[in-house]
Structure 1
Amino acid sequence: MKINRLLAIVVMLLNKDKISAAELAEKFEVSIRTIYRDIGAIDMSGIPIASRQGNNGGFYILDNYKINHQFLTLNDMISIVEALKNINGVLDDRNVEIAMEKVKSIIPYNKKSAVDLYFKQVFVDTLPWGFKKSEKENVKYKIVYEAVKENKCISFNYRNSKGEYILRNAEPITLVFKGFSWYVFSFCMLRKDYRTFKLTRMDELKILNKDVCKYRISYEEYIKTYNSKKVVPVKISLKFSEKARYRIQDYFDEEETTFLKDGSVVVNTEIVEDNWIYSVILSYGEYVEVLEPEHIRKIIGEKSKKTSDIYK
Structure 2
Amino acid sequence: MITGDKMQINRLFEIVYSLLNSKTITAKELSERFEVSVRTIYRDIEALSNAGIPVYMSRGKGGGISLLDNFVLNRSVLSDTEQTEILTALQTLNAINYPDVDTIIAKLGALFDKEDYNWIDVDFSNWGSKDRGTFNLLKTSIVNRRVITFNYFSSYGEKTFRTVEPLQLWFKDKAWYLKGRCLLKQAFRIFKLNRMKNLRMTEESFEKESVKELVNEPAQGINFQRVDLKLRFKPSVAYRVYDEFDENEIVKNSDGSFNVSVSYPEDEWVYGYILSFGSFVEVIEPKHIQDIIIERLEETLKQYK
Tell me if 1:131 matches 2:128. yes
8 Å contact kept, 1:155–1:205: yes
TM-superposed deviation, 1:102: 1.8
| 1:93 aligned to which of 95, 99, 111 | 99
Distance 2:174 2:265 in 1: 20
Instruction: Give the letter aligned to residue 124 of structure 1.
Output: V
Distance 1:48 1:165 in 2: 61
Residue 105 of structure 1: aligned partner = 110
| 2:200 aligned to which of 183, 200, 205 | 205
| 1:261 aligned to which of 254, 262, 265 | 254
Q: Deviations over 1:65-92 (max 9, x none)?
A: x961446788875664343222223242
Tell me if 1:145 matches 2:139. yes
8 Å contact kept, 2:57–2:65: no
Q: 1:87 to 1:161 in 2, by over 3 A?
A: same
Identify the range of structure 1 (288-297 vs 208-217) with the bigger mean alpha-carbon deviation.
Answer: 208-217
1:271-310 equivalences in 2 (<5 Å): 271-310=264-303
Say which SS state the counterpart of residue 163 (structure 1) adopts: coil
8 Å contact kept, 2:91–2:120: no
Instruction: Give the letter aligned to residue 273 of structure 1.
Output: E
Instruction: Give the letter aligned to residue 271 of structure 2.
Output: Y
> Unmatched 5+ residue regions in structure 1?
1-7, 22-31
8 Å contact kept, 2:73–2:112: no
8 Å contact kept, 1:155–1:208: no
Q: 1:207 to 1:248 in 2, by over 3 A?
A: same
Tell me if 1:156 matches 2:150. yes
8 Å contact kept, 1:240–1:264: yes
Distance 2:37 2:150 in 1: 41
TM-superposed deviation, 1:124: 3.3
Instruction: Report the number of matched residues.
Output: 272
TM-superposed deviation, 1:166: 1.4
TM-score relative to the length of structure 2: 0.71
Distance 1:211 1:70 in 2: 40
1:1-312 equivalences in 2 (<5 Å): 11-14=17-20, 19=24, 21=26, 33-40=28-35, 50-52=44-46, 56=58, 59=65, 68-70=73-75, 80-94=86-100, 96-106=101-111, 108=113, 112=115, 115=116, 119=118, 123-128=121-126, 130-134=127-131, 137-138=132-133, 140-178=134-172, 182-200=176-194, 201-203=196-198, 205-212=200-207, 214-215=209-210, 218=213, 220-222=215-217, 225-226=218-219, 233-312=226-305
TM-score relative to the length of structure 1: 0.69
Residue 24 of structure 1: aligned partner = none
TM-superposed deviation, 1:197: 2.2
TM-superposed deviation, 1:277: 1.2
TM-superposed deviation, 1:307: 2.1
8 Å contact kept, 1:171–1:213: no
Distance 1:80 1:215 in 2: 25
Distance 2:283 2:37 in 1: 65
Say which SS state the counterpart of residue 51 (structure 1) adopts: helix
> Unmatched 5+ residue regions in structure 2?
1-13, 50-55
8 Å contact kept, 1:181–1:198: yes
Percent of matched pairs sharing the same residue: 28
8 Å contact kept, 1:39–1:49: no
Q: 1:256 to 1:308 in 2, by over 3 A?
A: same
Residue 25 of structure 1: aligned partner = none
Q: 1:264 to 1:293 in 2, by over 3 A?
A: same
Residue 4 of structure 2: aligned partner = none
Say which SS state the counterpart of residue 295 (structure 2) adopts: helix
